[in-house]
Amino acid sequence: MVDVSGKPDTVREARARVTLRLKPATLRAIRRGEVVKGDVLGVARLAGIMAAKRTAELIPLCHPLRLTGIDVRFALDPARSAVHVETAVRTVDKTGVEMEALTAAAASGLAIYDMVKAIDRGMRLTDLCLVEKSGGRSGHWVRG
């Protein structure tokens, strides 16, 4: 693990996203609240938050951080038959929160998969990526 003890605490934020491609009927069931397991997006939001908080336990060499905010948002996209998940994680600490944002997005996507796999096993999680990060020595970065 990299020693960050000499670095100052700074405000840091990262945003990540993932897309789930699924059948139109599956997307309708999510939108209408007709999934047998319950509130798909509510469970996925909670999964993302919990995953961000436990990132250091899941990713070797990742520093445990004092997270100050975690947002998980969803956009239902009927034209592409997709659910877009976007996460934002904030901290005031010595190292960035990119891994926490990515972990939150991945866990949210996996929770959606788990909630609806009985009706659509062919779903795909695609395009997991960092969208933006700010703070720290490397400054602000935005995916082009």
Q: Is 114 among the residues known to form the active site? A: yes
Catalytic residue among 93, 114, 120, 127: 114
The span from the CA of 107 to the CA of 44, in Å, is 7
Per the DSSP assignment, residues forming a β-bridge with 92 are 11
d(CA 31, CA 22): 13
Contact in structure between 8 and 100 (CB atoms under 8 Å): no
Distance CA 97, CA 47 (A): 17
Closest CA to 88 of 14, 5, 2: 14
Q: Which residues are catalytically annotated?
A: 114
